[in-house]
Amino acid sequence: MSTTEETPENPVDEMPASTAFFDEGASKRSMLKEKKSTADLDEPIDDDDQAFPDKKFNIWERESMHVARNPCTYFWASFIISILLGVIGMIFGDFAVSVDNAGWQSRGTTIADRHTQFLLIQEFRQELWRDNEADEVWSDLIENVQDGWETDDDSSRRLMEPVEMEPIGDITTLGHRLQRGLQMQPMEAMRESYGLEVMPPALNEDQVRRLLTINATEGTLLEGCDTSWYTSRSMYQDSRLWPVWRTKSEGESFFNSDLLQELCEEEQVTQAKLEENGWCQTCSDGKTCLQPYSAVFYARLSVTDGMSLSCEQLASAWTDEGYEASHATSSFFSECVEDLNKNYNFDRDGTDLPESCPEGFFPSMVDEFYPAPNDYVQFSSSIFASSSEYSIIEEMYDEVGGFGQGKRNINGAYDTQHEDFVELSLDNQLLIDMSLAVGSAFMTCIAMMFHTKSPFLTVVGLAQIVLSFPLAFFFYTFVTRMEFFPFLNFIGIFVLFALGADDVFVAVDKWKNARLKYPKATTEEIASVAMPDAAMAMLLTTLTTAVAFFGTAVCPVSPIRCFAVFVGLMVIFDYLMCILLVFPALCIYDRADRTNRCCCHWEFTKYFRCCCKNKAEEDQSDDQVSNSRVNFDKSGELSTGGVSTASTKHYDSLIHRILKTFFYYLQLLKWPLLLICAGSLVWCAVKASQIELPVSSDVRLYDESDNQFEQNFVWRKKLLYKALEAKSGSKGFVIWGVKPADTGNLNNPEEWSQLVLDDSFKPSKREVQEYLRDYCDRYFNQDFAELVEENYVCPINAFDSWLQEESASNEPSEIYNTYCGGATGLPMSEENFDLCMYHWGQEKSALTVLARQDKITTMYFEFNSRVRYDSPFNDLADEWKLIDDWMKNDDAPEGANRAFFTSEDFWWYDTNSAMLDTAFQSAGIAMGAAAAVILFSSRSFVLTIFATVTVGYVLTSVMAMLVGIGWTLGFLESILFAILIGISCDFVIHFAHAYTTLHGHASREERTLHALLSMGPSILAAGFTTFSAALIMLFTVITFFEKFAIVLFLTVLQSLAGSFIVFLTMAVSLGPSDPTYLVDHMLAKCCPMICKKDFDIQGDEATEHFNTENNTENNKKVLDEEEEIAQ
């Protein structure tokens, strides 16, 4: 049988001139006599024994051969050093994970810097108020960076005790409560830090106390109970068990007797659980708990002897006394609800409900839109007198399944009003969801075992991925000096397994292809071919992916920035570990496979097989191998250069046959596909541009269907009191005396800032006094500002009124006589202003006016803004611009022209805005990096354009699909979009790089098929691994992980479609036959002394290859000569 007939049709062997510089050496090697026995294969070989004696190896090829000579030394040295560095990093770097939600605010932006300085004044105002002369607190704040205001202890998870309001003459200042940190509803917590009422007001005290006194008699449910709880702020400010109820049928109402009875019965189930465990505020007997306030409580207050009736009796009395009929129409509450919607403001009006509201009415009893459009009440709630101690809240969370959940007509969802159950659930669920990373590792292990068919290479590949984590942490801690390690960094494990497996697949496939191409080559020679090629291919994707993650570090939110830096480092170290571990392992594996030693590998059809080869069997197989060429006949069909497909079937793998078939149809339908790709790109771009911003800036980490705690939040927003709370707006502040700044470590939430004073603030100047005196009136005349309460007066105006009163008094105070110089109002003498106002502030406890060394240093006042953190994003943006423009255009005199306004709600808006900007900026950085890498590696403008278009298609198509499923570009989506941009570049870069590896001139069809067959299996394997990780993450519960899985799945899907269809269609239709020609010519002209030699060599190869391709007879003659030599 002729050699030509037995030549295997191996996909790598079919590439024309794919390794042109080896063809001559390979022909000569076939004429050389073997001088070494099989046992000598492990020894260094002389040039006379090499497969490529005439080739001049470059430095990378020589280093690869050097590794192949001593693979065990390199492997174990790299492994041990990596272990040591990782252990040092984890131990001496004090590895710890921040499980709380600290740091989820922007830092370093204008809005963030403003609020940072205000928070310093706000938190330390009592100490600063007393520190005028000692100057210790002032000096400490100015000279030292303060500790972060966020804590991770239990106290940060619950509402702090309220601080009583401090009187200042006729004005009051709300007490301060330390910020408890951004948690699941960040701005709620921040509102609490200023002592603001975030819950409904207390009941009408006079009316309710009268009713409760009557009912607190012997034999009633309130016998011996302290009913003052119902009229205290503690009822709604402290964390209480606060379930929300919903009717199962839309037409039912909680004021119907049957639903009222069922609600009463379910409350009794919960009440019994609280009393059994001592989780509630008890009456005099020490056992009975105070009754929860709800529609049932309202009914007991309404009917005769309601506090002594059972649930069934209460329902009957409700009907018999006519209450059911009266409450069945909207007229009963309509006037009350109308007045609440029209005139009521929680922060301003406090406990003063409109007179039209009936006795005992509470806004939490009815729906947001009640009485329109229907008369029925579908949502209601119950406030239990449960303990607010966090340890008891944890116990209640563990036993929440034993509470009454509803049966026939209603459903209940439990939590506290501060979402303590959500937070506890998230703490547990985070660990459960992150444990699925183990499942991701398992799927990666299976994929690598299937692809490499070697347990040894699979274990080494997993070691490469695992060791990347501690090595990245070592660099992260000791080189970048980043101390904060957020829990978000662990999401990088999912990314790392996908990218790490990709590197392993590329390395193994490059080695396999080189071994199949040159079966008689030594391990060193194969290393010189495979290692530099694989290292370059992996380097390109590593660079683009790492740059994409590092580009996300522009985000001013510290957990995102830390995540971006850490994952970028993991990507780099994964690449390095692949070079240092996987390549030596391949050399070890190849040597074992080439000798008489046994090797074990996985067979698709035979499960697991151990086999032993000898040199004679191997040489007999090698002698059947010769180079073949891929050609296309006149009909466009794929031909194998005259090689019999029957004789090569044994060497042609299933995946390569599938890829060849795919290429045949791709080449056959390239022009229709090109039009379809162009149309798809345009459609995706148009559709992606339609993505909307969220209607709310609120961030939720659970889906409503996942658990009842999130249901509680969603249903709570349906209640009237939440709607009224939202309409009340938020608290804002205007401050003088400080500069916007953040001098701390922006990457570490545990480190805050120094206080930066504005030395230009001179309130004592007469023109400044006049300006400040008139400022509040002008400010509150604007639509964007309202009084925080009915009688609120700005501090400077309160001081002016005091001066007028004292000057008109027959017996002025000692402070006025001593320090004020007989001033009758503002403006007053500049010499007396500071001391007079300081002592006035001391007498009136005016904590909003602070002095240092007898000089008024800072001053601020409060206002009520129309927007909240959960207002639509565009509303927040417009309101911010409106206020900022007004203040900039205000004609302030020198000495008071650096005032600024701030609000925690606007800080949250700034955080969302920063995330949106990061998504687009990182996308631009990733695409720019991908374009630069492709241009550098391919030296082809055309391929760079093709690859950039493909990456653009991936991003726009994913965005279009997200629009199709109803997503908006909110906080979480922006994070995910920024994270996954880097992944979208990898596959197309592999194809672009492989397209250029054929030297000189080759047809676009040959280059495209070469790229497809050489990189297709690796890309498909990497895609399968990433798909597997995404599928596992779909089982997570936390919304962030679930959305991450969806976006990861769609990104990989569109990356595969973009690289296999969009890029390859453009390449086979319009790709250059000599992609580096233009750039090489340009380089030769720009730097001839450097580039001329290399350019001439490539030009000669191109000319020779071109002439060979256009002379089929000469081509056949060359093949025949090679066959004769081989025989």
Q: Are the C-beta atoms of residues 796 and 826 closer than 8 Å to each other?
A: yes
Q: Are the C-beta atoms of residues 75 and 462 closer than 8 Å to each other?
A: no
Q: Dihedral of the CA atoms 925, 927, 930, 935 (nearest 10)?
A: -110
Classify 523 in phi/psi space as left (phi over 0), alpha (psi -120 to 50) or beta. Answer: alpha
CA 914 centroid distance within chain: 12
* pLDDT value, residue 1119: 41
State whether residue 409 is helix, strand or coil. coil
Q: Residue ranges of the alpha helices (H) in 747-872?
A: 766-780, 795-808, 814-819, 830-844
CA angle 1087, 1093, 1096 (to 5 degrees): 105
Q: How many CB atoms lie within 10 A of CB 106?
A: 26
CA dist 569 and 752 (Å) reads 26
The residues with which 731 forms a beta bridge, in sequence order, are: 864
Return phi, psi of residue 1091, to 5°: -95, -15
Amino acid letter, 465? I
* pLDDT value, residue 2: 37
Q: List Cα–Cα distances, 167 to 178, 843, 966, in angstroms.
A: 20, 10, 51
Three-state secondary structure along 905-932? HHHHHHHHHHHHHHHHHHHHHHHHHHHH
Q: Are the C-beta atoms of residues 273 and 401 closer than 8 Å to each other?
A: no
CA 893 centroid distance within chain: 45
Give the chain's largest Cα–Cα span.
129
CA angle 13, 16, 21 (to 5 degrees): 90
Amino acid letter, 959? M
* pLDDT value, residue 202: 42
Q: List Cα–Cα distances, 423 to 297, 393, 418, 971, in angstroms.
A: 29, 11, 9, 19
Q: Are the C-beta atoms of residues 753 and 117 closer than 8 Å to each other?
A: yes
CA dist 760 and 858 (Å) reads 11
Q: Are the C-beta atoms of residues 510 and 530 closer than 8 Å to each other?
A: yes
CA angle 119, 975, 448 (to 5 degrees): 140
Mean pLDDT by 10 residues, the chain (1127 residues): 37 36 37 36 40 70 90 94 92 69 83 94 90 87 84 34 32 27 33 37 50 60 79 78 90 87 93 91 82 89 86 92 76 76 65 73 79 75 90 92 90 90 82 74 82 88 92 92 83 77 88 86 90 89 86 87 91 94 92 64 40 46 39 38 34 80 92 93 91 70 80 88 77 94 90 93 94 94 87 92 93 92 92 94 91 93 87 87 94 93 90 82 81 83 90 90 85 71 79 83 89 88 82 81 85 92 94 82 67 45 41 43 45
Classify residue 162 by its DSSP letter: P
Q: Are the C-beta atoms of residues 266 and 376 closer than 8 Å to each other?
A: no
443 contact partners, CB below 8 Å, separation of at least 6: 1025, 1028, 1029, 1032
Q: 167 is written with which tokens? A: 């009187």
Classify residue 33 by its DSSP letter: P
Angle in degrees, 0-180, between the axes of helices 1004-1033 and 654-668, rounded to the nearest 10: 120
* pLDDT value, residue 979: 64
Q: Are the C-beta atoms of residues 388 and 158 closer than 8 Å to each other?
A: yes
Q: Go through the chain and tell me how many residues it has.
A: 1127
Say what the pTM is: 0.74
Q: List Cα–Cα distances, 85 to 122, 572, 639, in angstroms.
A: 44, 15, 53
* pLDDT value, residue 330: 56
361 contact partners, CB below 8 Å, separation of at least 6: 298, 333, 336, 353
CA dist 1039 and 1053 (Å) reads 21
* pLDDT value, residue 323: 85
**DSSP for 85-115, written as a single string:** HHHHHHHHTT---B-S-TT-SB-SSHHHHHH
* pLDDT value, residue 96: 67
